Every structure is written in C-alpha cells, then in structure tokens.
A and B are shown apart, each in its own frame.
Chain A
Amino acid sequence: MTRETAINLLLAALLLALPLIAAGMGEPFYVTLATRVVVLALAAVGLNLALGLGGLLSFGHAAFFGLGGYAAGILATHAFNAEPLFAGIPGTTSMPLIWLVAIAVAGLVALPIGAISLRTTGVYFIMITLAFAQMIYYFAISWPAYGGEDGLSIYVRNSFPGLNTAQPLPYFLICFVVLMAALLAFRLIEGSRFGSALQAARQNGVRLAAVGIPPFKVRLVAFVLSAMITGLAGALYADLNRFVGPSMLSWHMSGELMVLIILGGKGRLFGPVAGAMIFVCLEYVLGGITERWQFFLGLILLGIVLFARGGFLGLLSGKPRHV
C-alpha cells in the first residue's frame, strides 16, 4: 500500500466517521456540513476527470452542476404541484429517477458544448467553457417559469426507497455511497484503455493521433462523462439545500470546483475529497471568525497556488503518480 492509498483510506474513514459521531452526539448541523463536503467532492470528482486526467481546463462546470440541480428542482416542483412536465409526463420525487434525468441532461448539454469547445485549446478553451456556462446562467435568470433570479425551492426533500431522506444522517449516507461509487468509477476509468488514451491526450495529443487514436473523441467522451458526474452532484446539492437557484450556475461555482481540485491535488483520486474537506472547513472556521472570510480565503488560496503546488495530497504523499 502506498502512502497515498493509506491517506485516501484515512480520509474516507474520517469523512464517514465524523458525521456518525456528530449524529450520535445530537449535532445534525455537522452532519449537514459533512454532506456538503461529500456533494462538493462529488462535483469535483467529475471535474477532476476532465481537468486532472484529461488536462481540459473547463471553467464552465457550474453549468452541469446547475443543470443537475435544476433537473431535481423542476421534477420535484412538477410532482409537488401535480402538473405534468410536458406531453403528460409527470414530475417525480424519486431520487434515483431524478439522478438519471440529471445525468442525462448534463450529458446531453455537455455534448454540443464539448464538441464546440474542444475545437479550441488553451486559453480559448477556458474562456469558451466559461462563456457557455454564462449563457446557461443568463438563461436561468431571464426565464421566469422556474423562479428566474429567485430560484426554486424544493419544499420536501425528494425520496429514496426505504430511507427517510428528511433526516440528515440517511441523506448523508446516500451521498457518501454515491461519492464512493463515483470514486470507484474514476479509478476504473483511470486504469482502463480509455483512461490511458485520455492521459496520453493530455500529455501529447499529436503522438496519440499518430498511434491511431483521435484525441478529439477521447477528450469529448471524457468531457461528457465528467459533466454527467458533476450533474449528478448538482441534483444531490439541490436536495441538500432544498433549493436550486442561478448561483449554482454562476462562474464562482466553476471557480470553486477548480479550487477544490487544486487544494486537494490535481489528477489524484482523492484530491477532490481532500479539497472539499479543506474548503468547507476553511469556509466554516473563517466564516465563524470574521465576516470577511472571503478575503482570507483568497489569501490562503493564493499562497497555495504560489507556494504549495500539488495541493494537500501532494504535500503529504510526495510526488504525483503522473507528471
């Protein structure tokens, strides 16, 4: 077992144990805080697939996060008001069904966005993904049917068969299991033939093309898969807050997802998890000390980017497995 694997297991155990202890002590607030960590980590796992493995600096993943959230919000609202969605299809409050819709919507939207954006590279790619996310953001703001600028409230948290999702702990466990499944999927993808091709595309697209694998296709598939995972996280996030609004689509959200990955360690399996734990803790601790916590968060982030390359896992477990 490498040092990184040991740290990963420790992080997973911590993330599971702390909320269980908090729930046992009757502190539901900390369970909710841990759920926030888990859901943000899941969103960043999605981004890590594109950014860490594929080297695709998407600055627009908030779009998929928000679309997943809106999928949950819209389906739940229609079910709540007993109005059919369209063509007689009813809304739903069943989480597994909502997740499927969120994943599908995020993937379907990511396909054209990826197909256009991936024609470009470097800074263009960053700005184009950002611009597409802003397009969806402005659409959400100016489209009044689902709350517009005010967003949508989900009055009752959606249901999961056999569990009481209104309680913080069962909902945390659901999210935790989903996160672990996503991490497993990430590991499987990383080790697969496709994963090798994707990492080769990051390192040198021309060489990959020379051995007969088109980098564009590999990147596009990675981008879509990445959006799907982030979309799923969006649905969970909406249910966590019982609210979805344009802020989930804003470019600050895209920036935060990138920050999570950098804090934890880019391209590492548990990078997003470590990043989300640090970020939420910072937010909570700094937020408790000062109203101006964003100022200090910015300073800390700046320090990490400038002086601690490789993030938290890089500091603890030495050289990355890939360069």
Chain B
Amino acid sequence: MFTALLIEQLLNGLQLGVMLFLMAAGLTLIFGVMGLINLAHGSLYMIGAFACAVVASATGSFWLGLIASLAAAAGVGALIEVAVIRRLYDRDHLDQVLATFALILILSEGARWLFGSFPLYLDIPKLLQGAVPLPGGGQYQLYRLAIIAVGIVVAVGLYLLISRTRLGMRIRAGESDREMIAALGVDISTLYTVVFALGAALAGLAGALVGALQSVQVGMGEPVLILAFVVIVIGGIGSIKGALIGAVIVGVVDTMGRFLLPSLLALTMPAAQATTIGAALASMLIYVVMALILAFRPSGLFAAQS
C-alpha cells in the first residue's frame, strides 16, 4: 500500500513539475531573449484558465476551450507586449517589476469585473476521465497522466523549435546579440512579440490544464508564478533545460515533502505535533532547497552564457 501511495505522490510531484515547466519555460524564454522580468505571467495563466472554462461551458467541449485558452493567452500576451512591455526592454529591472505589477492589478481586477468573484469550474474531458491502475495496487487519475504527457510533448517541441527551426535560430541569435541580428535584417520587434506570445500561450495552456483540477478564479496565477520564479532561479535564468530540471525538482520536492515530512517527524515526536510541524516545514522546503542550491551555484544549475 505504501509503495502505491509513494508512486502516486511521485506522479503528483511530476505533474506539478510539468505544469511549472510550462510556466517557467515562457518566463525564462522571455527573460533570456528580451531581458525582461515579467510578473504578469501569472495573469496569463489565469487568462488561459478563464478562457478555457468560459468556452468549454458555452460549447460543451473541453478541446475547444483548450484552443481558446491558447488563443486568448497568446492574444492578450501579444497585446500587452505591443502596448506596454515593448517600452520596458531598455528600462532597469525595477521599472519592469513595477510595470508588470501594475499589469497584474489591471488584469486581475479586469477578470473579476468580467467574470465575477466566484470561481468557475471546468470538467475533465470525457476522454480522460477515469483512472489507471498503478503497480502496488493503487489507482491514478488518467487526466493527471495526460498533463504529464502534454508537458513532455511541449518540452520536446520547444527543444525542436529552438534548435531546429528558423524561428528558433533567430531566438537564439536574439539571446546572444540583438543588435547584430537586427543589423542582419531580422525584424526584432516582431520577433519579440512572437516570443512573448509564445510564452504567454504556454502559460495559458498550463492554466487551462490545471483549471480542470482546481477551481478557476482570480489570483490563481500568483502562487504558481512565484513557484515558477523559484524554478527558473534554480535552473538558471534563460535556460529551457534548466527550467525543465528545476521544475521537476521543485514539483517533486514540494509534493514529497508534504507527504513524507509529517510521517518522518512522527518517528521522533507525538503525531499531532509532527503533523503541524511537518506541514509548516514542508511548505518552506523548496525555498530551503533553492537557498542551498544558490549558496553553491549563485546563478543556478544551468546558467545561460550571458
């Protein structure tokens, strides 16, 4: 029984990690290419979830909702890139933090205006309902497995996009020398809009996928955003590979910490106390891991060259 539970928790950790990867990949790409720190990335996640929930409940199809979430997040992403973000590339990080903080206020309050304060609910699509048996006698939600699969597909897709396509070549060139590729005739501002919209679409996809597991509500992006920051700090800002590994580390450490710490502490102290202390410590665990990693590698595990 314990093995089944352990495998289940490991898969949960992996699923959280994959979801964080979708967020962190966009963040780290935007930072790597444009040098921009985007706090409003969590809002794009929220927009994806809302778009999916609204379209899915209007049409009855989760899949249309998923497409809508990609389109809405990418569209809003491109819009705010053109209207606001574009003006921030030459500014210092403080201005970027504050402007994107302002965007969070606008987008969160705007979403509350449009959709109200009550959470929306999104059903898991029929195709992915049900559970799969686990070795050791447990069961695991098919939908969560599907999220893990989506994450793997996206990771491979991003790798191919960046290493094998013309767009990817330009993105890499933009990372190393933006003036040079502009001089070579690449339309740099369109490239930036495309990269921002791509990152936004990934965040929207993450929001839509998670929306079916949790409720869809204003502010849902913020805890995820901060976890995604931890991920890219651990992985090394600007590195997609770092984002993937960092995301899996954070997802698994967080989930396993919550699962194992209370029972480990119960060996040395009364059960009630162990549950409380264990839960409190588990909520801090990933930050401790981050601090440890940074104490030895101040620029993360896979720091980008620049």
* Given known A57-B93, A143-B276, A306-B87, contact A132–B109 (CB-CB < 8 A): no
Query: Is A251 an interface position by the 8 A CB rule?
Result: yes
Q: Which of B97, B279, B290 contacts A258 (CB 8 A)?
A: B97
Contact between A126 and B99 (Cβ–Cβ < 8 Å)? no
Interface size class of B (residues with CB under 8 A): 35 or more
The secondary structure that dominates the A interface is: helix
Question: CA of A309 to CA of B94 in the docked complex: distance in angstroms?
Answer: 11
A57 to B95, CA, bound (A): 11
Residues of A within 8 A of B226 (CB): 130-131, 134, 251
Interface check A255, CB cutoff 8 A = yes
Q: Which residues from 132 to 177 on chain A have a C-beta closer than 8 Å to any C-beta of chain B?
A: 132, 134-135, 138-139, 141-144
Tell me the complex Cα distance, A292–B105, Å.
Answer: 10
Contact indicator A126/B97 (Cβ below 8 Å): yes
Is B173's beta carbon under 8 Å from chain A? no
Tell me the residues in window 44-67 of chain A with beta carbons closer than 8 Å to chain B beta carbons.
51, 57, 59
A249-266 residues at the B interface, CB under 8 angstroms: 251, 255, 258-259, 262, 266
Residues from chain B with Cβ under 8 Å of A130 in the complex: 226, 229
Q: Which of A128, A142, A262, A305 contacts B294 (CB 8 A)?
A: A128
Measured between C-beta atoms, what is the minimum distance from B201 to chain A in Å? 23
Other-chain contact of B233, A57, A127, A297, A309 (Cβ < 8 Å): A127
Q: Tell me how many residue pairs across A and B have CB atoms closer than 8 Å.
A: 119
The winner among A57, A126, A292, A305 for most chain B CB atoms within 10 A is A305
Tell me if B97 and A295 are in contact (CB < 8 A): no
Q: List 29 contacting pairs A-B, 8 Å CB cutoff, sorted by A.
A: A116-B294, A119-B294, A119-B298, A120-B298, A123-B37, A123-B93, A124-B237, A124-B298, A127-B230, A127-B233, A130-B229, A131-B229, A131-B233, A135-B288, A143-B280, A144-B276, A251-B226, A258-B97, A258-B98, A259-B98, A266-B94, A292-B109, A294-B105, A295-B106, A298-B105, A301-B98, A301-B102, A301-B105, A305-B102
Known contacts A128-B290, A131-B226, A132-B291; can you find 15 more A-B pairs with CB under 8 A?
A: A57-B94, A120-B298, A128-B291, A135-B288, A139-B284, A251-B226, A258-B97, A262-B94, A262-B98, A295-B105, A297-B102, A297-B105, A298-B102, A298-B105, A305-B99
Chain A residues within CB distance 8 Å of chain B: 51, 57, 59, 116, 119-120, 122-124, 126-128, 130-132, 134-135, 138-139, 141-144, 251, 255, 258-259, 262, 266, 292, 294-295, 297-299, 301-302, 305-306, 309
